[in-house]
Structures are given as C-alpha cells and as structure tokens.
Structure 1
Amino acid sequence: MDKAGKKVVLITGGTSGIGLAAAVLFLQDGWQVAVMGRDAGKGQEALDYLKKNDGKAGNIGEAVYLQGDVSSMEDCRRAVAETAGHFGRLDALINSAGIYFERAIEDVDEEAFDRMLSVNLKGTYFMTKYAIEIMKKQGSGCIVNVSSDAGLQGNMLCSTYCASKGAVNMFTKAMALELGPFGIRINAVCPGDVLTPLTEAQLLQYPDREQALGEMGSVYPLGRIASPEEVASVIKFLCSREAGFVNGALWSIDGGLT
C-alpha cells in the first residue's frame, strides 16, 4: 500500500472505452488511478468524467492523467516511473491501449502493419517490462492485458489485428511462467465487440446505426454486444484477492461467440 493505504493502478488507453470504464471501477473501490493516453484534451475529459463518477463509493482514490504513446518505449518507461513517483508504488497494470482496422492482406502496407503491432503488441510488451521492475521489488503485482476474441480465432479481413492479439495472448501465457515466482500474476481478457467509441465509429459508417448494431449483435448467442463496464468488471476481478490463484488465463468475454 502507499502512504494513504491505497493500491495503485496504471491503465493505458485509459481515456475512453474499456480503459476508462475500468478506471471508474478502480477509483470507486479506493484505488489510486493513473490513466495514460495520447491526447491531452481527452485526458482532461477523462479526469472530469472520473470526478463525476466518484461519488458512488466512500473510499475514493485519486486519479491522474499521463500523456504518452505506448508505441514509444520511452513513453512506456516514463509513464511507469511517473506513476510510481507520484503514488509511491504500482500494484496493477492494465494494458488497454489498442487500435483496430479491417483490411485484406493485399491492402496492408508496412506502415499500417507496423502501427498495429507497435500499439497492440509492442506497447503491451514494454509497459509490462517497466512495470515489473517495480512489482518485483514489491514482491507482488497484477497485470491484465486487454486482448480480443480475434486473438483466439481468426476473423475475416482482420489478419493484422488477429496477429497482434494472438501474440498478446501467447505473451501473457509466457509471462505467467516468468513472473509467477515473483508474486506477480498476469492474465488477459478476450472480449468480442464492445460498444466503445471505436465501435461507434464503425457503426456511423452505415446509413442506419441501430440496424447495423443489431446485425453486429446477432452473431452472438446472447444477441447483443458487450458494454465497456462488463469487460471492466472482469478486469477488476482479475486484480482482486478473489482471483489470487488465476494466472496465465485468457478470459473470453464474448457472450458465447467462441
């Protein structure tokens, strides 16, 4: 615990979607929260949103925003260092930053490929590298990687994304073996479609948003896509004492799709 007796979590991609929903849950549970994102404007909006949603519990933590791009090793190192410097420790890392596009392999150029792997895989890899330096000294820690059902099975026109998330899943399993002896657990969540700003942007490409959303949800046995809060709840659980023996697991959150 830090001097205030609170645990500390760093969330990449924490200014929107699943990352922001997770930040709300951790904050309401009394954690100190650092959210990392590229856009300073969105960072301030995220902090304002967190303040509006911090009245639902009595043991509220503090939230800070860190500007940075996870595709930069230096930004990864700095974000971890600033979090530990500000709060005094680091108990959990949530690797939620990610990008997505649908494209046939013939239409994927080197720049697009490199950007996808740099954010989805490289960012996860090096955020973990720097976080565990602190966690090993503490003798404890928890990491949750936000992967995808696309990391478990192939999806149409998503070869680059599938490759990045499949790599994240195997990285998670490998690191579980490497970090377990140090008291550090690492797991991944593998959601299907989630109603995030990224998904909303996809839906707006269609003439009828509601029809497109219905068609998207129709492939799921539960008949709908997930909310960010549903994924965030599993992330929060994986960082809890109740999940103390869960390590190297890939948790499907896809309404039965896989």
Structure 2
Amino acid sequence: MNYSFEGKVAVITGGTSGIGLETGRQLLSQGAKVTLIGSQEEKGKMALQELASFEEQVCFIRGDIRKASQCQEVIDKAVALFGGLDIVINSAGIYMEKLIGEVTEDEFDNMMNVNIKGTYFICKYALPHLRQRGGGAIVNLSSDAGINGNSLCTTYCASKGAVTTFTKALSLESIHYGIRANCVCPGDVDTPMLQQQLAGVDNPQEYLRDMSSIYPIGRIGEAHEIANVICFLASDQASFVNGAVWSVDGGLTSC
C-alpha cells in the first residue's frame, strides 16, 4: 500500500544500509524529505548514489549516535536542512553473539551505546521539533530478541529489550503532544549486517538453512518487508496505533 508523505520530513538513523536505507527509499518514493544518519562517510555517499533519483529530497549527515551531544547535533542539522521534523526512525543497531562469560565491558558498553543510548537521545532531541509541528511519529527498531531471549545473545537481548520497553514508556509521554511512538521487532533479515554475520562462519549456506528452518514461514525476511511496516506506522493510516510492539518475524515469536 502507498502512503502519502508529501510535506513530511523524516530522519533515519542507520539509514545508509539495510532496513534503514530501504525505509528511506520508500519514504522518498512517497514524497517525504529524508535525512540519513550514519557513522561512515563512505557509506553515506554510496547511499546517496543509490537514491540519486531523489536528489532534491535526501541528504546524509555523519554522526556518532553513541554520544548524546552528536544525537542533538544531527537532529538540529537535519531540521535546519529541511525546515522541520515529522518522522523519526531509529534503525541504527549492531549485533553480537557471545557467551556472557566472554563479553567484555567495552563490548557491553558499545552494544548499549549504539542500540539503546543512541535511540534514547535521538528521541529526546527530536521531541521538541516534533512538538513544533503539532505531532509526528517515532518508530524504533527492536528485534525478536527484544521480546524473547535468544541463545548466545545476552548483550544484544538486553539492548533490544530496553528499546522495546523504552518505546512503550515513551509512547505514554509523547502522545500528549500528538506524537505516536511504536517499535518494530524483526526476526533475521537479509541485510549487510546478516552478511557480515555469515562471513564469520565456516559454512554460510548451511548456517543460513539452519537459521531459516526455525521460522514457521520457512525463510528469513527481506528489508522491504520490514520497511513496509515501518512506513505504515509512520503514516497517518496508523493514527490509532501507539505504544505497539509489532513482530515482523514470520511467526518466530509465536513458537
């Protein structure tokens, strides 16, 4: 389904690849102006090249969302570029599999800083701008691991569980200003993050088959399938959806 985002301005963290980039593409194709936030200049340039047909509607800002001051800086820059803010998509995230006994403090801190601290402070600094527009939509990317515990993923599960409950709490606070906050919880999705994960195993094809076999639907997800749900939640069609935790996981968390 197509939604009209004409006149809307969106910010997407983690917007230079995977789900974030695909969400940006869909928002742009439906009329939005979009700022992609990412930590790597080269990936930003590549994303802009991929979205070259929307040149007048899209820009890239480099920022490290692990630092609250940079969260404020990228939000302020994005607002200055396009004159306001209506939609915030927090898609930036990192993944790690490790036994808890092997996780270092630096690894724990980095996971939390990217997955929850960045999400938290992007929302904090976006809220005043959303209020100025009379309302808006926030969609945070959690995970099936933000609902159920996964093996070898204590750190990742802790970070994504925090995103899930943070979003529900934020929704109660922000709705008083006409701002809806929801989160999307994908299962495994074919993205560069997954390809990086596969590169670290001995038999990627067998690993992927095993991964797919635990899904009732019989496969992992595609980025556009997650972006479809994000765009719905960001649209006016979801005007009565607030504080929701949307599983987009082929039935995984129903098992």
TM over 0.5: yes
Is the CA contact 1:10–1:94 (under 8 Å) kept in the aligned structure 2?
Answer: yes
When normalised by structure 1's length, the TM-score is: 0.94
Is the CA contact 1:6–1:61 (under 8 Å) kept in the aligned structure 2?
Answer: no
Match of residue 162, structure 1, among 142, 146, 157? 157
In the other structure, the counterpart of 2:33 is 32
Q: What is the RMSD of the two structures over their aligned residues, measured on CA atoms?
A: 1.2
Paired letter, 1:6: G
In the other structure, the counterpart of 2:19 is 18
Is the CA contact 1:31–1:61 (under 8 Å) kept in the aligned structure 2?
Answer: no
Do structure 1's residue 231 and structure 2's residue 233 form an aligned pair? no
State the percentage of identical aligned residues: 50
Q: Once the 2 structures are TM-superposed, how far is the Cα of residue 61 of structure 1 from its aligned partner? A: 6.0
In the other structure, the counterpart of 2:8 is 7
In the other structure, the counterpart of 1:57 is none
Is the CA contact 1:71–1:119 (under 8 Å) kept in the aligned structure 2?
Answer: yes
Do structure 1's residue 117 and structure 2's residue 118 form an aligned pair? no
User: Take 1:147 and 1:61, find their aligned partners in 2: how far apart are those partners?
Assistant: 30
Q: Once the 2 structures are TM-superposed, how far is the Cα of residue 74 of structure 1 from its aligned partner? A: 1.4
Do structure 1's residue 205 and structure 2's residue 206 form an aligned pair? no
Paired letter, 1:198: M
Matched length: 248
Could you tell me which runs of 5 or more consecutive residues in structure 1 were left unpaired when the two chains were aligned: 55-59
Paired letter, 1:113: F
User: Take 2:241 and 2:44, find their aligned partners in 1: how far apart are those partners?
Assistant: 32
Matching of residues 94-173 of structure 1 within 5 Å: 94-173=89-168
User: Take 1:6 and 1:41, find their aligned partners in 2: how far apart are those partners?
Assistant: 29
User: Take 2:101 and 2:110, find their aligned partners in 1: how far apart are those partners?
Assistant: 17
Is the CA contact 1:11–1:35 (under 8 Å) kept in the aligned structure 2?
Answer: yes
User: Take 1:39 and 1:162, find their aligned partners in 2: how far apart are those partners?
Assistant: 25
After superposition, the C-alpha distances for 1:170-202 in whole angstroms (9 at most, x for unaligned) are 111101110111000000000010111110111
Matching of residues 209-220 of structure 1 within 5 Å: 209-220=204-215
**Which of 17-26 and 196-205 deviates more?**
196-205
User: Take 2:24 and 2:119, find their aligned partners in 1: how far apart are those partners?
Assistant: 18
User: Take 1:21 and 1:247, find their aligned partners in 2: how far apart are those partners?
Assistant: 23
After superposition, the C-alpha distances for 1:29-52 in whole angstroms (9 at most, x for unaligned) are 010010000000000000001125
When normalised by structure 2's length, the TM-score is: 0.95
Do structure 1's residue 188 and structure 2's residue 192 form an aligned pair? no
| Partner SS for 1:100 | coil
Match of residue 216, structure 2, among 221, 239, 246? 221
After superposition, the C-alpha distances for 1:84-120 in whole angstroms (9 at most, x for unaligned) are 1010010000000011100111011111111010010
In the other structure, the counterpart of 1:177 is 172
Paired letter, 1:28: S
Match of residue 243, structure 2, among 235, 240, 248? 248
In the other structure, the counterpart of 2:72 is 77
Q: Once the 2 structures are TM-superposed, how far is the Cα of residue 207 of structure 1 from its aligned partner? A: 3.8
Q: Once the 2 structures are TM-superposed, how far is the Cα of residue 204 of structure 1 from its aligned partner? A: 2.1
Is the CA contact 1:30–1:61 (under 8 Å) kept in the aligned structure 2?
Answer: no
